[in-house]
């Protein structure tokens, strides 16, 4: 099934977005009959990828279309249940690849909520009434503040071990220990009891921030939302920018956006993603950028690149390699970067920079071999140079191809390459690249603004290899053929390990475990076998576990 990540509030089946001044409500009211696939019902506010696609869209719109919103309250539209988590029937019927990609996108979406709280002045508050279990509690954990109804029945739970034994390696456990700082022994108790924890113990163990009686619940939620809003620096009286529908056309072997294109070589299993730089100068000021709306090149390009990466992940899973190319004027890219830097205090420009940060992280987290090909006519400069540093390898042409009159390949750094777009490890991609070579990083910083040719970029360690036109075709071909011949599982493990050198963070833990532990757990017969937990869930039969500990 082809999965489309494009949607808008008029098409939502599972969420209601209500904006009232500085406060917005995201109401989860899942349509049981509107699952992404056939064969399951989304009962008890359980969710599948389709539910999360809408949530991600809503989060983006709150950031761009509603700059005056400073607090977002997440609540349930159903009685006696906040959210039952990922739909188990959906997981049981999904391919392994879909399960893992679904969990990755879910966590990236939760991260975008946390990013809004940390960097955009838009706090999320989870107003939990009823059962809040599994992935439902993971959704609440992504909020800045959790309020639980103290009614004797409402509870929070991560009951995967007693109920299912399939998902104890996703983001919930990491957020419990690393974000909410729950003590390890208490977390062990919490994660092994089916009924969850409620009332005063939930507060004492830091599983929630506050418990409130039913009679005072709505008033307290409103008060906390306004308290959080009072701390925000978001503007009070700005109009937002409409995220108009992305223009995209598809054929059997290509996807075309306005600024991004994908070419698919299915025989060789290679996807070529080309991002075209801006063809006009940047606007005069932030007001003019806002007038351009979704056509403002840095915003338009980020949206298209984001959608293209998701499309490749979910719909083109057989591609072994994504090779990134750019086309355009490096000077014009750098001029747009200079505009972003000069106007970074404006709410819209801040959101655009943060969107690029999240989209570049999306590239980091994509389980394909990634290579940048820096050729004549390319514009790997500033923000677009980050794509080079996100790739596993980069190849740069020395000089020009015979008969090619395009400008010689170049690579240009600017201030944005040194901290504006941190990876999940909290470091810039250049900091991560040169962990053991601080002197090399110093040389790179000193070269900001220089148009570096291939030999200079190679000398500075900014590319993997530089080849002339005699060797170029053969060297690139050998790399691509080699990559397509390796075990895809081995490549995923290798690349995920090598991409995140440096400090461990909550994000690197979450995605490292998604890549390794959960990949393994999902495949084991205890989960996916004929007598495993996914197959027997809801049948009344206990799973038959193989008892060896591995």
Specify the DSSP element, H or E, that contains 309: helix 297-315
* Calpha distance 100→521 (Å, rounded): 11
pLDDT at 93: 87
The greatest distance separating any two alpha carbons of the chain, rounded to the nearest whole angstrom, comes to 78
pLDDT digits (tens, 9 = 90+) for 490-538: 898 899 889 989 999 999 988 887 777 666 777 778 877 888 887 777 7
Is the whole-model pTM more than 0.75? Answer: yes
CATH number, domain containing residue 305 = 3.90.226.10
| Statement to judge: residues 207 and 304 lie in one domain | no
Residue 469: closest CA among 364, 371, 367, 376: 376
From 192, 216, 240, the end of a domain falls on 216
Residue 477: pLDDT over 80: yes
Residue 24: closest CA among 70, 65, 56: 70
SS3 at position 104? helix
CA end-to-end distance (rounded Å), the chain:
35
What range does the domain containing 330 cover?
249-498
The DSSP code sequence of 185-230 is HHHHHHTT-TT-B-HHHHHHTTSSSEEE-HHHHHHHHHHHHHHHHH
| Statement to judge: residues 209 and 355 lie in one domain | no
* Calpha distance 540→543 (Å, rounded): 9
| Statement to judge: residues 167 and 253 lie in one domain | no
pLDDT digits (tens, 9 = 90+) for 10-67: 999 999 999 999 999 999 999 999 999 999 999 999 999 999 999 999 999 999 999 9
**Residue 289 falls within a domain, yes or no?**
yes
| Statement to judge: residues 111 and 191 lie in one domain | yes
Residue 149: pLDDT over 70: yes
Number of domains comprising the chain: 2
Q: Angle at CA 366, nearest 5°, toward 365 and 371?
A: 110
Residue 168: pLDDT over 60: no
H-only helix segments in 347-453: 347-364, 385-390, 429-433, 438-446
From residue 144, alpha-carbon distances to 24, 47, 68, 180, 224 in Å are: 15, 21, 18, 10, 11
């Amino acid at each position: 099934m082809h999965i489309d990540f494009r949607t808008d509030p008029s098409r939502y089946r599972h969420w209601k977005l209500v904006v009232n001044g500085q406060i917005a409500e995201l109401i989860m009211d899942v349509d049981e009959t509107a699952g992404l696939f056939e064969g399951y019902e989304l009962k008890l506010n359980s969710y599948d990828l389709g539910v999360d696609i809408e949530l991600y869209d809503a989060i983006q719109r709150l950031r761009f279309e509603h700059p005056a919103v400073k607090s977002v309250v997440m609540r349930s539209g159903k009685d006696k249940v906040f959210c039952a988590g990922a739909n188990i029937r959906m997981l049981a019927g999904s391919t392994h690849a879909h399960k893992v990609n679904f969990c990755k996108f879910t966590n990236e979406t939760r991260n975008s909520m946390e990013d809004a709280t940390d960097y955009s002045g838009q706090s999320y508050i989870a107003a939990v009434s009823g059962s809040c279990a599994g992935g439902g509690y993971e959704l609440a954990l992504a909020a800045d503040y959790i309020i639980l109804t103290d009614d004797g029945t409402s509870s929070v739970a991560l009951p995967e071990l007693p109920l299912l034994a399939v998902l104890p390696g996703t983001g919930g456990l990491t957020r419990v220990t690393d974000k909410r700082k729950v003590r390890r022994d208490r977390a062990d108790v919490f994660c092994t009891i089916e009924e969850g924890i409620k009332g005063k113990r939930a507060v004492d163990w830091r599983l929630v921030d506050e418990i409130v009686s039913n009679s005072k619940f709505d008033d307290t939620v409103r008060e906390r939302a306004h308290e959080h809003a009072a701390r925000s620096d978001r503007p009070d009286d700005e109009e937002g920018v409409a995220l108009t529908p992305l223009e995209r056309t598809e054929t059997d072997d290509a996807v075309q956006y306005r600024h991004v294109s994908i070419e698919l070589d299915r025989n060789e299993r290679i996807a070529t993603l080309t991002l075209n730089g801006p063809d006009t100068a940047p606007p005069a000021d932030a007001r003019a950028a806002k007038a351009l709306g979704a056509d403002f090149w840095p915003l338009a390009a980020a949206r298209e690149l984001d959608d293209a990466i998701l499309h490749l992940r979910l719909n083109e899973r057989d591609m072994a390699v994504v090779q990134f190319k750019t086309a355009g004027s490096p000077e014009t890219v750098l001029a747009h970067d200079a505009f972003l830097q000069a106007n970074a205090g404006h709410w819209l420009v801040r959101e655009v920079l943060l969107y690029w940060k999240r989209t570049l992280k999306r590239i980091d987290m994509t389980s394909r071999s990634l290579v940048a090909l820096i050729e004549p006519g390319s514009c790997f400069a500033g923000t677009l140079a980050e794509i080079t540093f996100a790739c596993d390898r980069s190849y740069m042409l020395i000089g020009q191809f015979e008969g090619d009159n395009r400008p010689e390949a170049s690579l240009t750094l600017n201030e944005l390459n040194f901290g504006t777009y941190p990876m999940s490890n909290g470091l810039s991609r250049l900091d991560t690249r040169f962990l053991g070579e601080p002197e090399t990083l110093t040389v790179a910083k000193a070269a900001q603004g220089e148009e570096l040719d291939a030999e200079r970029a190679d000398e500075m360690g900014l590319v993997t290899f530089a080849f002339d036109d005699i060797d170029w075709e053969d060297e690139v071909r050998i790399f691509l053929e080699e990559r397509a011949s390796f075990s895809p599982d081995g490549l995923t493990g290798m690349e995920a390990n090598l991409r995140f050198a440096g400090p461990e963070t909550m994000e690197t833990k979450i995605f490292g475990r998604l890549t390794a532990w959960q990949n393994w757990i999902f495949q084991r017969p205890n989960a996916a076998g004929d007598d495993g937990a996914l197959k027997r869930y809801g049948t009344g039969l206990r799973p038959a576990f193989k008892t060896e500990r591995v």
